[in-house]
Every structure is written in C-alpha cells, then in structure tokens.
C-alpha cells in the first residue's frame, strides 16, 4: 500500500496557531508563518506527493509529536516577534536535536517599541514568552513576577542587549542631543546597566544589562528628556468615537441671539428665528416635540490622521451662505476623484472633487446628523416605499442622491425606512463609507501589504500574459482595438497550474496574513491541483502498458518513475488514481485532527476515521498493533476487489439471518464491516462527515474500482438530490474557521471544487452552471474578490474546457479591484480579455476610455503604465484625450492644449486655445509659441467652428504686422497705403466680431490681448508713409484706427494726431 499515513514521521514546522500552542507537520518545506487557524492550514502541502513510512507505532508518533510541540517557545501577543522565528527553531530542532537548548543570540521584540537580544547560548525550551517579556512605552519588563524569576544566568534572566525606541522630537538641536545622551547615560547607570548608544534619527536607545527586572525611563526621566507629544504606539484600527448628544431646538439660539455651531439653520445659512417660525406654521403645536432638530454629531477618527471629513450638508450650507458674496478669482482645482476634508469647527468647507491624491491614506468616515422625523407620522415614503434608504435630497433640497463614488466609496443617509424598530428614524444623516474592495491585500492588522499586491494581482497577471494569445481586431470608428484571448493545450495545463500554485505559495510567505485568508489561499492551491488532475492531458505511447494494478497509489508511483507517455486505455484509470490522491490530500488534515482528539482506547473509532481518509497503511498498522490481526487483514484489502466486498456483505447478512446479537460486537467494528462491504450509509449511520470524505467513501468502497470519474460525480450528484449526501458547502463554511459569520442556505452556493467535478462530468455537453460556478462566494467569503477565480476561468477557457460570454461581472469585479490599487494598465489588460459581444460591440472601448479618463492621475505620470498601454494597442489618441481632460481640469491649460492637439480634437483644442492659452502667451510675448499652436490647427480649420474669429485672428495679426514692418513684405511694393489700410480695417472688424462671438467665454486678459493687438497695428499703420501716399490716404488711415478696439486714452491720442494732421493740411492749403 502506498496510502499516506495521517501523521508523518518527519517534516518541517509549517504553521503556528493563533489561538493555541499547537504545531502541525507537513512532509515538504513550508512557508514561514507565525499565525494560522487550525489543522486545515497544512492543506497547502497536502497536494505534494509524499511517501510515508509505516514502520512505527501510531501512538508513539503522537507522543513524540506532542512532546516536540510542547518544547517549543510560545509567543502569541500581537506585534511581538522573535528571532529565529518559530518555523526556523522547529526546523533546526529537527535537523539538530537539542538546538533549542542552545540558541545563539535569541531575540524577542515588539514592533515600534524595541527588542531584547540575549547574548550567547539561550535555552528557549518550554518558555511562555507572553508571560515573561512585556514591552511598554519606553520600558521592557522581563519576569515581572518575581516569584517566577530564575536565578541569574538561568532562563532569560541573563546578560542581554536591550534596544528601546524613544518617542523623541524630530527636530533636536546639537545641544539638546548632548543633554539627552547624558541623561540616558545617567539613567542607564542608575539602573545598573551599561549605556551603549542613542540614535536620534530613529530614537533607538541601546544598553547592556546583566540580569533582568524592569528597565526603561521613569516618568521623571521622560519629563527631563525632549519627548514627542505623541502617545504610545496604538493599533492602527483603534478609533475614537465621540458621545452623541441630543439638543432640543430651543437651545439652538442663545438668549443673546448668537447662533450655536451645531444649529442646522446655521449650517444651511438661514435665520434660526425664521426657521422656527416656519416650523410653527407648518406643523401643529401638539406635534412640535416630535419634530425637533438635533445637533448630534459623531466622528470616527483613525490613528493615521487627525482631520475629519466635513459633511456634504455643511458644504452646501457654506455655499448657500456665501452665495451673495463677491466673486473671487478661480483657483486651480485639486486633482480628480478625491474628497477634500474640512474641519467641522472651522469655516472652510470640505469639497468633493474627482481625484485620487493621498489615495494611500485610509478613508475616514464622518457622520453628521441633522433633524429627525419620527416614523409614527405618515409620509409618502413610509407608506409605499418601506425598507429603502432615505434620499438625502428630501432634506437638503438639492440634487444629492444615494450612490456610489470611485474606489468603492458610498454616500448615503444610512437610515432604513419603514423599520419595525421604534427607534428607527428618518433623518438627514449623511454617511460616507468605503467598501473594502482591496481587502484581499490587507493583513490581519488591516494594512495593505505590497507583497500581497504583487502576489495577488501582478504576478498572476504577468503569468497570464505569458500564455499564448490570439487577437481579434475590432474597429471603433477610425481606431482599431486588439481584443485578446489566451489559448493553450491540455499538455501544458500541468505546468500552468504549477506556476499559479507557486505564486500562491509566495503569498502565504507574507507575514501576518489573516487566518481566514490562509484558508482561502490553501483552498485555491487545491483548486489548481484539481484543475490539473481533471483537465490536463498526457502524451500517448504507441505500446500498451499493464493496467492491472489494483492499488491507485501504486499506479501513481509507477507513473512517476516511468515515462511520461501512457497508454490511451490507461488514461481514465490514471486520472481516477490522481483524483483519489487529490481527495486523500484534501481531507488528510481533518482525519488527523479527529484522530488526535480521541484517546488511545478508541482504536476502532480511530481505524474508522483513518478509512474515511483512505489512510490504509496507518489503519492496518494500528489494528495490528492492538493484536487484531484478522481485522488488519481485512483492512489491507479495503476498496479492492468487489469479490471481497461481496464476501463481507454476505457474512453480515448471514449474521443477521441467523439472529446474531450485534450487541456483543463493538459498534465501531460493525461500522468498519459495513464500510468494507460497500455500505457507506450503514457505516455512517448517526455520524456526519464532510462532503469530500463522503465522495471518497463512495468512490473507494461502494463503487467498483474501475468506475469512471464522471459516473462517480453523477452518482454523488444524484445522492445529493435525494438528500442522502452532505452538501458540498464552500470551504470557508466547511472548515468553520472563517472569522466572518456567513449565512448559507441549502443549494444557494457550493464549493468551486464541486463545480469543477460537474464540469468534468459534463464535458462535451452544455454546462449551465457557469455563473454560479464562478461566483466569488464559491471560493471565498469576500463577495468582491475575483482576483484568482478570474484566472481559473481564463485557464479553463484557454484549454477549451469551458466557454461563456455572459461572465462580465467576473471581469468587472477584477477591474474594480485593480483600479482601487492604482493598477490601471492591468485593468485595461483585463478589459481587453472580455468576450466580444455583437449586441454591445463598443463595450471594451467605452470601458477603456472611461478608465483612462477617471484614473488619469494614477497612470499619466507612470511611464511604465503608459508604455504598457501602448504595447496593448490602446490608441495613443485615447491616452492624449484623457490627459487633456485631466490637465484641463487641473488648470494646466497649456499641457491640456498640447494633448488635445495630439488626439486631433481640434474643436476642443481651438476653444481652449482661445479662452485659456493664447492671451497668456501673447501677454508674455511668446509669439513664436502662439504661431506654432495656431498653425498646427490651421490645416484642420474646416473642422473648427468660427476659425476666422478665433485662432485665425492671431494668424492674421502676425501676417499684417509682418507686412507693415518689413520693406519686402507679402504685399507687393506696388501696393499702396490704401491697400494696407483696407487690410487693417478688415482685421479690426474681425477683432470686434470675435469679441461679440466669444463673449463671456473670453477672460479679461484675452480682451487686453485683443486691445494690444489693435494698438500695435494702429501704431504700425500710422507710422507707414509710403511714397505717393496722399493726405486723403492718411486721413483714411486715421478713420480706420478710430474703429479699432483700443482703450479710450489711445484713441484720444490718435485723435490728437489726426487733428494735428488736419491743421497741417489747412496751413498747406
């Protein structure tokens, strides 16, 4: 038999439970992790092939296992760590017995507080570090209980180097630094320790102690040293919630008439006295008490910042109160998709802008509560629209609706209408919340980890990109978009699955991954293994090979030692053997846990449990060790020939026929006989097991050993429909280790592994469970996490095992997660893999352009992202269009204009040129830049409305100015002053018409630029005295100048010159 034993003889430490001091063992090198959930955490290694010795007694294995577990030190306090870590200690102890009794420079520390390095060799066996070492603010206590302290030199009461992190002020003068060092040196010496150093950059104070009690700074020492005002390090999730107080409306106005800051009318910029009079008119006197205003305010503040978000209600009030105030110059707006918080006490409002700056700062949630209406008074809402969210516009009197913002931000009133709860109220409460779209990349401390971002999203997508793709060009107007679709063959599927498994293994190496996340990650490993087992293909040999081996594990062993080519007839049996091995690995940890929970006298029950996981070697060994040789012989043939099953079944039936009293036979022995006879329901009568073990019992003991996998799956499906089999619940429910409470109803959703089995059983026919199969709930308790299930769907489609065009929710789920993390280029990559639909041919193009525009701030400065998008075939015009919109909004009009020109949006470019750019350049004397921009649009003037009265004005100006300045100009020498005058007259006419056409869109500076153009042309025209010009021609020039749009003082000056010329002409006459 090659069946694995439930408890390996050797291995490395894999996981340390977060709730108890228990070490589990795998058979291969595992990932380093200091927190876990339960025995299910070893499932990561259960998929690997392993051969386990069956020569030792099982009970002795448990004794050795337990003794080894208890000898290791324990450290469960959050924020604490030790070096070497627990996994390294266990590994070294296994390799070198007694290593834990002589650990060199053993270190224990707490993040943000400091550490202790015990010099020399230290015996760390059986140490409860949580009880021995405690770090506080500027102090460390070792053996706080004096009665438990060993003698000096024993245990941890020995020489050590202590490092404490002091919260000192960041800006320290040299003189102050010297004082601090001297005070620390004196404090160290006073406590009987030796001062080593003090680093002001990180606040690390190091000193040497010879034995332990309490070491650190006293309150007097902290007062003497220049300390920071910050308090002790707090957990990042700690929040402060203010008390809620209800204030009657009568208190909103003080006797002296001053308006209180919490008054709703004051927030709205209205007169509280008049508001009270209006309420008296609108509501009866007897209802007055029921319709009161409240000044309730509640604020939740995270430790990463001290500002709070001002309510949109207060923002609207500020705008109303300042509506009649004088206008101010427009300020450059902040970047897109950001909520800019204001202080509740200050007069500056908070503003909601479309931007993403400060995106790494955790979103703060503020709640400002206005007046309330009791539900006992009938309203149109309470009568016909029960249990809906209250629309804030009902109370704010403006367009403010319940809805979603970017990156999972939800703005709503937070009140349920029509609730039976008497305390439920309709109110003007405004809530700003954020849905945890990025929960999968947060550790158990709710911190985003870069390693998790890399392993959850970047690495899988890079692997997906390496798979061969076929492209399909789709025409979007004048642009072409390359939609992509991965293609692969089943011979390569095993390698692809192993690559994905390697990525998940690296993810499990990240410290402080939450227990529930570990359950999901290990389940993903098993899912990839199952995909490899059920859907991969192998090379077919030309010669037949023997398929007579009864034992599936021996077949697997022979396959691994032989050629990769197999006989076509042996393929179903090989796949069945691999699936059997997968099942054993999936349930091994549960069998082990249940066996370890029994006492030694329950040997028959232990044998039965071992059989449910097909741990035949261990079961036979256990039975033989108890002297039950006959049972051991029967167990050695379990699940083999159907003849043996029939013999056992016939014997049981013969006993029943002869009236044998089964009370004289142990109940568990009868269960074992029933199982060996193939009667799994009789063997499990009154017992419950998980669905995977039930499926294994069905395949191993009830159905013939050569039954195909599709038939096994269909049989289980039929038993499930008949309510005779346990439901294949998702892993987070099946394991029962998920922190979040999940509600599950029969048939609502099943485990992804079960759907994969059905997909294999129905291969070749239509599979109608695609949407349910690829629901997030089939593999994780997070309904917004699609990062791995998207890849599983893609790989199955690539090998032709599955096809669907209606799983856009899966694509958009992953797109939302990537956008939330700022990975816009990968989000576009996912969009390009969405199946093309004839009913919505522009779906991908619309999504890509929306992503580019909404998240431009994230990607425009990232050269790698831009290059990635261009490599994907995204039209550069779309990129320039998005950047033009962003820079235009941000107030960088020159850059926006360049991008509008680059994306050939000539009308937008022209409008921006006229209203925001041209006049600034003109007044800055950057005439060459104006000429470059205007001439770049001139070739497309047919597409631009009002070109001649727009940018054409500037081109005409430079041409006329050049003709008036140069002797050899574009107007030939034979042209007279009259022709020049006519050209200037037309130009002035266009200037005035342009001012009328553009109207209020032109700022004051643009009108100044127009005036200066007119002034310069007037000066040049009047200074031109061509040969042969007459007095009439000169007077005509003055008439032209008087029509120019120039200031009145300039016009008066020209009028004086005209009068002088007229006087000269009279004198000459």
Is 763 strand, coil or helix? coil
Q: What is the residue-averaged pLDDT of the chain?
A: 75
d(CA 1035, CA 1012): 22
User: Which one has a higher pLDDT value, 433 or 159?
Assistant: 159
- 238-242, 892-896, 983-987 — most confident range: 892-896
User: Which one has a higher pLDDT value, 397 or 95?
Assistant: 95
pLDDT in the model for residue 151:
87
Q: Determine contact, residues 100/71, Cβ cutoff 8 Å.
A: yes
pLDDT in the model for residue 309:
35
Q: Which of 285-289, 402-406, 483-487, 939-943 has the lowest mean pLDDT?
A: 285-289
Residue identified by tokens 């228990």 is: 22
Summarize pLDDT for 297-323 with one digit per residue, the tens: 333 333 333 333 333 333 433 443 443
pLDDT in the model for residue 1035:
76
Stretch 6-21: mean pLDDT, rounded? 36
Q: Residue 165 phi/psi, 5° resolution?
A: -95, 115
Stretch 676-703: mean pLDDT, rounded? 91
d(CA 423, CA 407): 33
Distance of CA 614 to the CA centre of its chain: 40
Q: Which of 409, 404, 315 is nearest to 362 (CA)?
A: 409
Summarize pLDDT for 564-577 with one digit per residue, the tens: 566 777 888 899 99
Tokens read off for 738? 């998920």
pLDDT in the model for residue 36:
40
Q: Residue 381 phi/psi, 5° resolution?
A: -75, -45
d(CA 328, CA 629): 97
Tokens read off for 345? 């006490």
Alpha-carbon torsion (192, 198, 200, 201), positive or negative: negative
Stretch 144-156: mean pLDDT, rounded? 86
Query: Percent of the chain scored above 90 by pLDDT?
Result: 32
Q: Which of 79-88, 240-249, 1046-1055 has the lowest mean pLDDT?
A: 240-249
Q: Determine contact, residues 934/951, Cβ cutoff 8 Å.
A: yes
Summarize pLDDT for 206-254 with one digit per residue, the tens: 999 988 878 888 776 776 675 554 444 444 333 333 333 333 333 344 4
d(CA 214, CA 144): 8
- For residue 881, pLDDT over 90 is answered with yes
Q: Determine contact, residues 244/368, Cβ cutoff 8 Å.
A: no
Stretch 392-406: mean pLDDT, rounded? 52
Q: Which of 181-185, 218-222, 370-374, 1046-1050 has the lowest mean pLDDT?
A: 370-374
d(CA 116, CA 208): 10
Summarize pLDDT for 507-554 with one digit per residue, the tens: 888 888 888 888 889 999 999 999 999 999 887 654 444 333 445 555
pLDDT in the model for residue 570:
80
pLDDT tier at 664, thresholds 50, 70, 90: confident
pLDDT tier at 659, thresholds 50, 70, 90: confident
How many H helices and E strands in the chain? 44, 23
pLDDT in the model for residue 230:
43
pLDDT in the model for residue 279:
66
- For residue 397, pLDDT over 50 is answered with no
Q: Determine contact, residues 260/316, Cβ cutoff 8 Å.
A: no
Summarize pLDDT for 634-643 with one digit per residue, the tens: 898 888 888 8
pLDDT in the model for residue 825:
94
- For residue 970, pLDDT over 90 is answered with no
Alpha-carbon torsion (548, 552, 557, 559), positive or negative: positive
Residue identified by tokens 């059983």 is: 761
Q: Determine contact, residues 752/773, Cβ cutoff 8 Å.
A: yes
d(CA 764, CA 753): 19
d(CA 931, CA 953): 11
User: Which one has a higher pLDDT value, 615 or 1068?
Assistant: 615
pLDDT in the model for residue 514:
82
- For residue 1048, pLDDT over 50 is answered with yes
């Amino acid at each position: 038999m090659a069946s694995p034993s439930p408890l390996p003889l050797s291995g490395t430490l894999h996981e340390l439970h977060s709730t108890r001091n228990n070490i589990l063992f795998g058979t291969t090198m595992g990932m380093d992790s200091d927190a876990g959930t339960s025995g299910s955490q070893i499932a990561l290694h259960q998929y690997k092939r392993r051969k386990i010795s069956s020569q030792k007694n099982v009970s002795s294995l448990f004794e050795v296992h337990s003794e080894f577990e208890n000898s290791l030190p324990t450290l469960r306090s959050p924020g604490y760590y030790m070096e070497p870590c627990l996994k390294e200690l266990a590994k070294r102890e296994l390799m070198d017995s007694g290593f834990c009794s002589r650990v060199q420079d053993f270190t224990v520390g707490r993040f943000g507080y400091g550490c202790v390095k015990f010099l020399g060799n230290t015996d760390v066996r059986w140490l409860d570090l949580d009880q021995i070492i405690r770090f506080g603010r500027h102090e460390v206590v070792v053996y706080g209980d004096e009665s438990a302290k060993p003698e000096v030199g024993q245990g941890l009461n020995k020489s050590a180097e202590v490092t404490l992190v002091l919260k000192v002020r960041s800006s320290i003068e040299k003189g102050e630094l010297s004082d601090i060092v001297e005070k620390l040196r004196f404090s160290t010496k006073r406590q009987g320790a030796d001062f080593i150093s003090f680093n002001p950059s990180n606040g690390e104070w190091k000193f040497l102690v010879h034995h332990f009690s309490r070491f650190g700074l006293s309150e007097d020492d902290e007062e003497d040293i220049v300390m920071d005002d910050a308090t002790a390090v707090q957990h990042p999730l700690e929040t402060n919630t203010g008390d809620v107080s209800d204030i009657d409306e009568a208190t909103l106005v003080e006797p002296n008439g001053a308006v209180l800051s919490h008054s709703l009318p004051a927030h709205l910029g209205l007169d509280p006295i008049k508001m009270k009079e209006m309420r008296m008119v609108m509501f009866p006197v007897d209802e007055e008490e029921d319709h009161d205003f409240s000044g309730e305010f509640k604020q939740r503040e995270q430790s990463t910042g001290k500002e709070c978000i001002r309510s949109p209600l207060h923002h609207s009030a500020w705008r109303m109160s300042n509506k009649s105030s004088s206008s101010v110059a427009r300020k450059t707006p902040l970047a897109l998709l950001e909520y800019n918080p204001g202080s509740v006490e200050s007069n500056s409002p908070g503003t909601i802008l479309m931007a993403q700056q400060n995106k790494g700062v955790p979103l703060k949630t503020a709640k400002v509560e206005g007046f309330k209406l009791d539900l006992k008074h009938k309203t149109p809402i309470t009568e016909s629209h029960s249990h809906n969210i209250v629309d804030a516009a009902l109370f704010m009197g403006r367009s403010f609706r319940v809805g979603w913002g970017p990156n999972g931000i939800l703005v709503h009133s937070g009140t349920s209408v029509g609730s039976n709860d008497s305390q439920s109220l309709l109110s003007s409460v405004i809530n700003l919340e954020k849905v945890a779209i990025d929960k999968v990349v947060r550790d158990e401390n709710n911190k985003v980890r870069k390693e998790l971002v890399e392993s959850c999203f970047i690495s899988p997508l890079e692997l997906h990109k390496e798979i061969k793709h076929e492209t399909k060009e789709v025409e979007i107007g004048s642009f072409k978009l390359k939609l992509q679709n991965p293609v692969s063959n089943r011979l390569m599927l095993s390698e692809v699955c192993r690559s994905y498994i390697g990525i998940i293994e690296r993810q499990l190496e990240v410290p402080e991954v939450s227990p529930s996340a570990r359950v999901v990650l290990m389940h993903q490993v098993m899912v990839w293994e199952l995909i490899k087992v059920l859907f991969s293909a192998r090379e077919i040999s030309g010669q037949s090979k023997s398929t007579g081996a009864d034992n599936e594990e021996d077949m697997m062993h022979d396959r691994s030692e032989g050629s990769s080519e197999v006989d076509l007839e042996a393929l179903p049996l090989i796949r069945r053997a691999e699936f059997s091995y997968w099942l054993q690995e999936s349930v091994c940890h549960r069998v082990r846990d249940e066996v370890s929970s029994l006492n030694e006298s329950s040997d028959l029950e232990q044998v039965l449990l071992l059989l449910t996981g097909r741990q035949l070697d261990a079961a036979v060994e256990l039975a033989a060790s108890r002297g039950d040789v006959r049972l051991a012989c029967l167990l050695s043939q379990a699940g083999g020939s159907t003849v043996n099953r029939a013999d056992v079944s016939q014997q049981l039936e013969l006993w029943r026929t002869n009236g044998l009293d089964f009370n004289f036979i142990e109940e568990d022995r009868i269960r074992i006989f029933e199982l060996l006879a193939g009667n799994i329901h009789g063997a499990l009568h009154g017992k419950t097991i998980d669905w995977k073990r039930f499926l294994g019992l069905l395949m191993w003991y009830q159905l013939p050993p050569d039954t195909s996998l599709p038939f096994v799956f269909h049989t289980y499906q039929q038993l499930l429909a008949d309510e005779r089999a346990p439901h294949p619940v998702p892993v987070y429910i099946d394991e029962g280790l998920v922190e979040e409470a999940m509600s599950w109803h029969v048939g609502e959703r099943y485990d992804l592994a079960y759907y994969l089995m059905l997909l294999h059983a129905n291969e070749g026919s239509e599979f109608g469970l695609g949407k349910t199969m690829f629901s997030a709930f089939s593999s994780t308790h997070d309904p917004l996490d699609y990062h791995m299930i998207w890849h599983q769907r893609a790989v199955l489609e690539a090998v032709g095992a599955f096809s669907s065009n209606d799983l856009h929710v899966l694509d958009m789920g992953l797109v939302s997660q990537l956008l939330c993390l700022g990975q816009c280029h990968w989000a576009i990559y996912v969009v390009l893999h969405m199946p093309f639909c004839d009913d919505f041919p522009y779906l991908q193009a619309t999504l890509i352009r929306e992503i580019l525009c909404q998240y431009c701030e994230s990607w425009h400065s990232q050269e790698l992202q831009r290059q990635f998008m261009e490599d994907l075939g995204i039209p550069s015009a779309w990129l320039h269009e998005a950047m033009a919109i962003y820079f235009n909004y941000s107030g960088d009009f020159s850059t926006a204009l360049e991008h509008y020109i680059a994306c050939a949006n000539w009308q937008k470019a022209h409008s921006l040129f006229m209203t925001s750019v041209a006049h600034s350049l003109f007044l800055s004397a950057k005439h060459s830049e104006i000429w470059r921009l205007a001439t770049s649009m001139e070739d497309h003037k047919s597409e631009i409305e009002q070109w001649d009265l727009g940018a054409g004005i500037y081109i005409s100006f430079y041409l006329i100015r050049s003709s008036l300045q140069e002797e050899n100009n574009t107007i030939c020498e034979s042209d007279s002053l009259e022709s020049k005058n006519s050209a200037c007259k037309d130009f002035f006419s266009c200037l005035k018409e342009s001012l009328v056409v553009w109207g209020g869109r032109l700022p004051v500076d643009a009108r100044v630029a127009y005036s200066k153009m007119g002034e310069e042309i007037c000066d040049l025209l009047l200074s031109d005295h061509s040969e042969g010009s007459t007095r009439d021609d000169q007077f005509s020039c003055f008439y032209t100048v008087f029509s120019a749009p120039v200031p009145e003082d300039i016009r008066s000056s020209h009028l004086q010159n005209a009068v002088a010329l007229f006087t000269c002409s009279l004198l000459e006459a």
